[in-house]
């Protein structure tokens, strides 16, 4: 089964999408298999990360923003604004897909794990994520 999620990312940063993905898994009726997610963008990522303490997300966001700063003089791809080239670099350093096993009709995430869309642009974006559920 393949479906598509449309996720609103109102700001730069981590946005948890675990509930949305779990809903698609439940609707599929799949009891055992694999849920693979793929984001159709070059300036946003998908990651598995801690979802219990929001400070983990804030620390990750601050660290990556420090590692890949805006307005670096070496960038030549600047026509879409100062956050565009850094967003492409951040996507390259993270991931555009994740896979989570399904067991007993549910995602087999760890106790503190969540699925996150990591928006690397500052402006509000609508992001498309392909969800493939298979045996």
* CATH number of the CATH domain containing 43: 2.60.120.460
Residue-wise pLDDT for 107-116, tens only, equals 999 999 999 9
Residue-wise pLDDT for 75-104, tens only, equals 999 999 999 999 999 999 999 999 999 999
Q: How many domains does the chain have?
A: 1
pLDDT band at 135 (very low <50, low <70, confident <90, very high): confident
Please report, for residues 11, 44, 93, the alpha-carbon distance to residue 81 in angstroms, rounded to integers and kept in the order given.
Answer: 15, 15, 20
17 with 96: CB under 8 angstroms? no
Task: Decide: pTM greater than 0.85.
Answer: yes
Q: Which structural domain range is residue 52 located in?
A: 2-134
DSSP state of 40: -
């Amino acid at each position: 089964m393949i479906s598509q999620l449309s996720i609103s990312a109102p700001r730069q940063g981590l946005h948890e999408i675990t509930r949305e993905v779990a809903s698609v898994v439940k609707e599929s009726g799949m009891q055992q298999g694999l849920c693979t997610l793929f984001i159709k963008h070059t300036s946003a990522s998908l990651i598995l990360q801690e979802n219990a303490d929001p400070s983990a997300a804030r620390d990750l966001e601050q660290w990556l923003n420090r590692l890949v700063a805006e307005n670096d003089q070496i960038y030549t791809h600047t026509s879409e604004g100062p956050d565009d080239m850094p967003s492409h670099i951040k996507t390259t350093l993270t991931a555009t897909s994740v896979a989570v096993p399904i067991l007993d009709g549910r995602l087999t995430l760890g106790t503190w794990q969540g699925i996150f869309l990591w928006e690397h642009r500052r402006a509000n974006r609508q992001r498309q994520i392909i969800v493939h559920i298979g045996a």
